[in-house]
Chain A
Amino acid sequence: MTTGGPVAAVATGPAGRDGEYRLAVRDLEIRSGRGGPPVVSGVSFAVRPGDVLGLVGESGSGKTTVALALLGHTRRGLAITGGEILLDGADLLRLKPGEMRRLRGARVSYVPQDPAAALNPALRIGYQLREALRVHAGVTRDPQARIAEVLREARLDTAPDMLQRYPHQLSGGQQQRVGLAMAFVCRPSLIVLDEPTTGLDVSTQRHILDTVRSLCRGYGVAAVYVSHDLAVVSELVADVAVMYAGRIVEAGPAAPLFSRPLHPYTRGLLASVPAPDGAARLAGIPGQQPPPGQRGPGCAFAPRCDLALDRCRAREPEPAVLAGRTVRCWRAAEVTPRPAGHGQVTVAAPPGRTVLSLRAVSASHGSVPVLSGIGLDVPARACVAIVGESGSGKTTLARCIIGLHRNWTGEITLHGAPLAHGARQRPREVLRQIQCVFQNPYTSLNPRKTVGQIIAEPLQRLGGLPRAGLAERVARALDDVSLGGGFASRYPDQLSGGERQRVAIARALAVEPDLLVCDEVTSALDVSVQAVIVELLRAVSAQRHLAMIFITHNLALVRSIAQFAVVLRAGAVVEAGPADRVLSRPASEYTARLMADVPRLATSPPP
């Protein structure tokens, strides 16, 4: 695309050119309270009918705040204080509350992240769909026909009694399709999708994305797709806007932006995205985003940028148009665009003797079988990735190994000695040898304890360490995860998600375990932080000859960290072997399909 891209046009173009856009946002500013600091400012973009704009950024970048503003809504404590949002040329922000209400759902609709929470559990699907048409009377003369049509479009018509069902009788993917159907039933001009596929498995995600694309195309709907997942966005959208600390830092046509990012933040973000087809070194971005509304005088990214100059720290760059893109960076013109490169890593290590071994392990929740006949060996110095969709039993397997799930049969041996079922029956020494890092660092650290206390606890209990010298060991444990001893006196709520997860890793590593079980440790984290954590885990496991079990639903991550991969499906092992072989030449059809559905960074325009 040439310099006339929609985003560039809005940044520079005269007002008269808005006609071709369905949605044009100009200089949107949102503050916390009327006089508070701006949380979002200077946000401008435009979307043509039938196009999808990707609004990407990490948590706290303001992307959801902007998305909600498109519906004239702000979260409590926030207020839209400037700019305009033109829908077909009319400013949404000037509408009276009543007019706004009539607009919502009819001409602007919203698909939330969690469909399970958005659908009313007490009402049948059919009722909820009809409700939208009833509220916006006059949209159609024949509601029944419209509902049948929209069900077909959302590919929900396969089940005949769909309209009679309650939300809990649907799968997550079907629930999200209902969400889509509700959004499209009134034939809106603009649809805002807020991470609609985040909680879904890859295959479901792929189908939902296809549906979104064809619906927008088919009806000339402009869509804004909010996501933190760059790979998903790259496959779906024509244009993309990257947000950082409440500003759009780079915007333009998706394919060139993803292949040759100009802004250092975009580049860092892209280097953090794991590549499913190779063992990529994930670069990550050090540091963290300033909290909403707390940006300094200069470029907000300067503290984390390896190209930052004094100028960057002193004054904030204005958006400039460059190579068909709008970029907010002083050095965008001097820095030659280069592909977001991934270094390759070798994760092949000579496997040592077996640390952990599972033989015919079956487990159940009550009377429901969850795992059946799992066999698995984890050699020393090796990382075994356990992958599978949600409900495949990965987490139950981890909980059996660490002793939190006691209802299992079969044999699990550590260094050849069988393990007791529950953690309480296991001797301290065994508890020390197996350490675990949990998925959610927001719940795995006790909010009432300092980081120092959190790490000292296992050292005293399992390591038998006396009080003297404890502080030093804690400081060393924090150094090992590159946090520094100064963190010992902080409380978890003073840390970012990535820092919390490092503390959890430091706690696990402090007692020098033989086996580290990592259960979805990066799924609650931003992609740039995920990259840093994965690199950290790989480094420490290599240094300490640690055996590791890395449980993940993200197949793209596997080759960056693990030598072996085990694919689980419905509680049984589908396939196991060296990670490279399993993922690139899968023996089972299931693995092949999973791999095909993994979103990949598309550097050519979507079909």
Chain B
Amino acid sequence: MTTADPPAAAPAAPRPARIRRHQWLAVLGPAVRTPRGAVGLALAALVALVAVAGPFVAPHSPDALVTLAYGKPSAAFPLGGDFLGRDVLSRVLAGGWLLLLMAVTATAIGVAAGAAAGVSAAYLRGRSDGLIMRTVDVILAFPQLVFALLLLSILGPRLWLIVLAVGLTHAPAVARVLRSATLDVCERDFVKVAELQGMRPAAVMAKEILPSLSTPLMVEAGLRLTYSIIIMSGLAFLGFGQPPPAPNWGTMINENRDGLSLNPWAVIVPAVLIAMLTIGTNLLTDSIGRVALGVDRRPEEAALVDDLGLSAGGGR
């Protein structure tokens, strides 16, 4: 590519200091203003609100046997009773926060480990690259759910183990994406300038390269969060979650499916909440990716995103 005719400077409109300091806001802002992003954020936020605030507003104890087994909805029990006669509404309200927390933690572990592996592989090249990426390939060869189940059946259903297992199985995919994004950033001259200033490799990666990866990091985090939620609830459905009688949306679907014809709400409500959450996080992630790629953005925002070098495949 020839560089003889650089694109015209964007209008030098003063930008809010907040966006300057936290440049990921420059992508997130436009993303949540697209219809897709707005719907995604609304869905995810609604479910998160139910999960977080739920335990405090639940009318009954989630474990108390207060109504009939598979009792029909009534004024006192709007969603009826579950297979033991516990209040479904209370269990729905109380059963989300741990699922959400575990999904978020697993995502954080996965993205952090994957980013560390991917960025170092791309920056260090050579033997480190080979070693890291071949390890990644090996982990990638295990199906995620099977790997988690394998660990759990060996070591027993412990919550921290579920989180760790799901997190670690996310890492390889994250590592691959960030490796290719980093290869692009590494070619930019400011990285070479940092090396010429005698900066250590770790510092170059953390201070020079990582800030330019905020977009792929955001997209990956969103994507992995969606998967985490699915796997976490799937594991809970299979019985690898909190042991009963603790409420959990995934467990609830399994427990109450026999009474589907008697009180369908005990299955439908947790299932819909999980679906809303995953669809929400997925839509939001999608909108971030589309804004960064330039599919869904207004021209004035395009200039901002391009200037900050936030484009996913970006870079000149």
Residues of A within 8 A of B (CB): 32-33, 59-60, 64, 76-77, 113-114, 117, 195, 198-199, 228, 288, 291-294, 402-404, 423-424, 428, 431, 435-436, 438-440, 442-448, 457-458, 461-462, 491, 493-497, 507, 523-525
Q: Given contacts A113-B2, A113-B5, are A76 and B299 in contact (CB under 8 A)? A: yes
Selected interface stretch from B77-85, B157-165, B192-200, B276-284 = B192-200
Shortest C-beta distance, A289 to chain B (Å), equals 8
Asked whether, in the complex, the Cβ of B307 is within 8 Å of the Cβ of A291, the reply is: no
Asked whether, in the complex, the Cβ of A291 is within 8 Å of the Cβ of B10, the reply is: yes
A114 to B199 CA separation, bound complex (whole angstroms): 36
Interchain CB contact (< 8 A) of A32 among B194, B199, B299, B307 = B299
Contact-residue bracket for chain B: 35 or more
Q: Given contacts A424-B195, A440-B316, are A228 and B4 in contact (CB under 8 A)? A: yes
A493 to B8 CA separation, bound complex (whole angstroms): 11
Asked whether, in the complex, the Cβ of A438 is within 8 Å of the Cβ of B192, the reply is: yes
Task: Report chain A residues within 8 Å CB of B7.
Answer: 59-60
Scan residues 200-231 of chain B and give those whose CB is less than 8 A from a CB of chain A.
208, 211-212
Counting CB contacts under 8 A, is B315 at the interface?
yes
Asked whether, in the complex, the Cβ of A446 is within 8 Å of the Cβ of B190, the reply is: yes
A343 to B208 CA separation, bound complex (whole angstroms): 43
A431 to B194 CA separation, bound complex (whole angstroms): 11
Shortest C-beta distance, A412 to chain B (Å), equals 15
Task: Report chain A residues within 8 Å CB of B6.
Answer: 59, 442, 497, 524-525
Task: Give 7 new A-B contacts, CB below 8 A, not counting A424-B195, A443-B188, A524-B4.
Answer: A117-B1, A436-B193, A440-B316, A446-B208, A448-B308, A497-B9, A525-B6
Asked whether, in the complex, the Cβ of B189 is within 8 Å of the Cβ of A461, the reply is: no
Counting CB contacts under 8 A, is B3 at the interface?
yes
Q: What are 23 A-B contacts defined by CB distance under 8 Å?
A: A59-B5, A59-B7, A64-B5, A77-B299, A114-B1, A198-B2, A228-B5, A288-B9, A291-B8, A291-B12, A424-B198, A428-B198, A431-B198, A438-B192, A444-B189, A446-B208, A448-B211, A461-B198, A462-B198, A493-B10, A494-B12, A495-B9, A497-B6
Residues of B within 8 A of A (CB): 1-12, 20, 23, 187-190, 192-199, 208, 211-212, 299, 307-309, 315-316
Q: Given contacts A440-B316, A448-B211, are A461 and B199 in contact (CB under 8 A)? A: yes
A440 to B11 CA separation, bound complex (whole angstroms): 21
A288 to B11 CA separation, bound complex (whole angstroms): 13
Task: Report chain A residues within 8 Å CB of B192.
Answer: 404, 438
Task: Report chain B residues within 8 Å CB of A60.
Answer: 7-9
A291 to B9 CA separation, bound complex (whole angstroms): 6
Task: Report chain B residues within 8 Å CB of A491.
Answer: 20
A59 to B307 CA separation, bound complex (whole angstroms): 16
Asked whether, in the complex, the Cβ of B9 is within 8 Å of the Cβ of A448, the reply is: no
Shortest C-beta distance, B201 to chain A (Å), equals 9
A385 to B47 CA separation, bound complex (whole angstroms): 65
A491 to B194 CA separation, bound complex (whole angstroms): 17
Task: Report chain B residues within 8 Å CB of A439.
Answer: 3, 189
A458 to B3 CA separation, bound complex (whole angstroms): 27
A402 to B189 CA separation, bound complex (whole angstroms): 13
Query: Can you name the residue of chain A whose Cβ is closest to the Cβ of B193?
Result: A444
A162 to B254 CA separation, bound complex (whole angstroms): 68
Asked whether, in the complex, the Cβ of B197 is within 8 Å of the Cβ of A457, the reply is: yes
Task: Report chain B residues within 8 Å CB of A523.
Answer: 3-4
Q: Given contacts A431-B198, A447-B212, are A438 and B189 in contact (CB under 8 A)? A: yes
A428 to B1 CA separation, bound complex (whole angstroms): 34
Q: Given contacts A291-B11, A440-B316, are A198 and B212 in contact (CB under 8 A)? A: no
A495 to B12 CA separation, bound complex (whole angstroms): 8
A531 to B3 CA separation, bound complex (whole angstroms): 17
